[in-house]
Structures are given as structure tokens and as C-alpha cells.
Amino acid sequence: MTDQPHSATLSPSSELRSLFDTTFSDYEKRTGINLVEHQFFTILNSCDTADSIVATFRNLIQALNILRGEDATTIVECLEWIVYLLHPLSANGTLGGVGAQLSFSLDKAIFAGLGVLLIAVDGSQVSMNYDMLIDLFRSLEAFLKRLNTHIKASQTTTTTVPVVKILLQLLSTLGLATQQVNQGRLGRSFTLIDVLLWLKVTQRGSEKCS
């Protein structure tokens, strides 16, 4: 009974597979990192619950030197929202079992992208305005809240393909942010132009889910 709607939702499956391949290939070109082979992704893959994923992020932030005090608290709070909004999409089948096709879950790939971004910031030799990093995380949190609202309102399996496409765009955005950190230029121009443009484009896609 589960195979039939799954097949219909992901048709044509070759298109989605091509989108996955392109997204992960572009991410690697931008960052120099094969995301699914990264150590942080491996750690996340052993997490079975949203709470364990949040705990993994807390451990990561504690191990890094970039964030302390209120900045660290704000980032953790944003990450908690992101995890608790995104992880259930895989757990409750909203993503249509996409992870089964790929041997990993899309939500964990995005979480790994967030972790890689934090690690890149920690390793950057360039002085950064951490308000920009916090703005980025808050933007992602706010968008996922809107996306989650659209998904709940639609209550249909036809949401799978547009949601997957939106989340792949999110991963691409994280790749761009990581690339700019590595180049020492994540700043207000990225936060206000790239992220807001991404939110505008993907919001159109999320509205189609409702």
C-alpha cells in the first residue's frame, strides 16, 4: 500500500535523482567537501531522534571557539527550531521515503550542512560579524516555520516533490554560505541579498504545497 503513493509522489524519480546529484555535486564544488562523507554527517547518521540531533549540535558548538555567551545561546535556539521543524518531515513520511532511495535522509544532509558551516566559521582566519551568521540561521528558522505551516495545511502526498526541491535549494544556500566563509566574505551582502532572494523564490514553491 505504501509503494503506490510513493511511486506516484516521486514521479519521475529520475528527475529527483538528477536534482540530488546536481545539488550535492555543486555543494562539493563550492565547499570542497563531500557532505555525506563528512565526519559530522557520520555522527548525525547515528542519531535517531530530534533530541539526539540537538544534543549533537550542542556538543559541536561547545567544541568550537567561535561562539560564546548570548551568541551561542541564540544559535542553539535557532538550531533547535530548525531540527524540530525539519526532522519530522523525514520521520512522518512527508518526504516520501526519499532517504530510502539515497541511503541517507535529506534532513540529516541539511543538518550536516549547518554543522559544516559552523566548522568553517570556526576555522576562518578572517574576522567576521557574527550577527550575520545569526541572521542567516534566523532566516532559515523563519522560512522553515512557514514551510511547515504550508505542509500541515495541505495534508497531501503531492507536497513531496516541491518540498524536496525546496530543501535541496536550502542545502545549496548552505553551500554558498560555506563557500563565502572559506573566502572570508560572509557578510551583510550575503544575508540580505542571497538569503532573502532564496526565501522569496522558495516561498513560491512552498505556497504551491498548500
The grid coordinates listed for 5 are 503513493
pTM of the complete model beyond 0.85: no
Residues in the chain: 210
Query: How far apart (Å, rounded) are the C-alpha atoms in residues 80 and 55?
Result: 9
pLDDT of residue 1: 40
* Side chain identity, residue 1: M
Does the pLDDT of residue 194 top 60, yes or no? Answer: no
Give the 3-state secondary structure of residue 197: helix
Task: Give the pLDDT of residue 49.
Answer: 93
What whole-number distance in Å separates Cα of residue 43 and Cα of residue 206?
A: 30
CA distance 144 to 199: 10
Distances (CA, A) of 189 to 62, 65, 135, 143, 195: 28, 24, 12, 19, 9
pLDDT of residue 37: 92
The 10 Å CB-count burial string (b at 16+, else e) for 68-87 is eeeebebbbebbbbbbebbb
pLDDT at 141 (0 to 100): 87
pLDDT in tens, 46-62: 998 999 999 999 999 88
